[in-house]
Structure formats: C-alpha cells, structure tokens
Amino acid sequence: MRLYIGTITHENNRDSYVFTEDINKAFPWETDQKAESYLRWTIACGGTICHSPFTKVSGVCSDFRVEPRPQGGFTISCESDI
C-alpha cells in the first residue's frame, strides 16, 4: 500500500509522522529539492515504522519517493505492508 506523509511533529529530538493514503492530504514541500533533502537526511537515516490507524497493526515503510502533489508542491511517499 502506498502511503504519504500527512503530518510531521517534532518532540524529544525525534520526528513523528502520521501517514495518509490520500495524496491530496499529504504534507507539502515547496520544491522537490527540499523534499529530497528531508528524505535523505531525516527519514532514510533510520527505519520508519508505520502504525495503521485502522487495524492497530505496525509495519515497516520502504521504497521512499518524492512525488509531485496534484495541487502543487511535492510530498514523500513510501510503500508499507500494513
């Protein structure tokens, strides 16, 4: 299942993400370079675990990509097994 970062919160020196299946609700970066930089230095450095809000099951995210948003800007998506 393809998921998109919906929101980002920063607490205790860590970023936490809420994922969405809807690209229209995905967190926007202004440029693909900013999204690529965030992906390279923040997400790709450590494993990212996804927690399904529907089933309470956790899974690992992989195959992170920067994608254009239909309404402009760019977002980061991943493939999840949840």
**Distance (Å, whole) CA 15 – CA 11:** 6
Over residues 25-51, the pLDDT tens digits come to 999 999 999 999 988 877 766 556 566
Please name the amino acid found at residue 47. G
Q: Above 80 in pLDDT, residue 13? A: no
Q: Of 50 and 5, which is predicted with more confidence?
A: 5
Parent domain of 56: 2-80
Q: Quick one: tokens of 62? A: 């992989």
Look over the chain and give the mean of its residue pLDDT values, rounded to a whole number: 83
pTM of the model: 0.81
Count: domains in the chain = 1
- The tokens 């919906």 sit on which residue? 6
